[in-house]
Amino acid sequence: MVRASNSLFENMEFQAFFELAVQKLIDSEGIEVGVADVTGAAWREVDFPEDYEAAQALFN
């Protein structure tokens, strides 16, 4: 994943999303991606520092 993420930075794709890095791994290395049902699970998307702070409050 790090290599795919670095590739995005090297190509100056700064507005790319996590999904693009995953797609690059699928295309270049043939990894398989699955799904997980998180219904009822505590989770929080973290994109910004304030998201991280909210996640810390949720999980502490």
Q: Cα separations (Å) of 4 from 22, 27, 35, 54? A: 8, 10, 20, 28
Q: Which pLDDT belongs to residue 1?
A: 57
CA distances (Å), origin 3, targets 25, 36, 45, 47, 56? 9, 24, 22, 20, 28
Task: Give all strands (DSSP E) within 1-60, no chain letters.
Answer: none
The domain segmentation of the chain, as residue ranges, is 2-59
pTM across the whole model: 0.50
For 48, the enclosing helix (H) or strand (E) is none
Mean pLDDT in each 10-residue stretch from start to end of the chain (60 residues)? 70 73 85 92 89 92
Amino acid 23: pLDDT: 86
Q: What is the pLDDT of residue 4?
A: 67
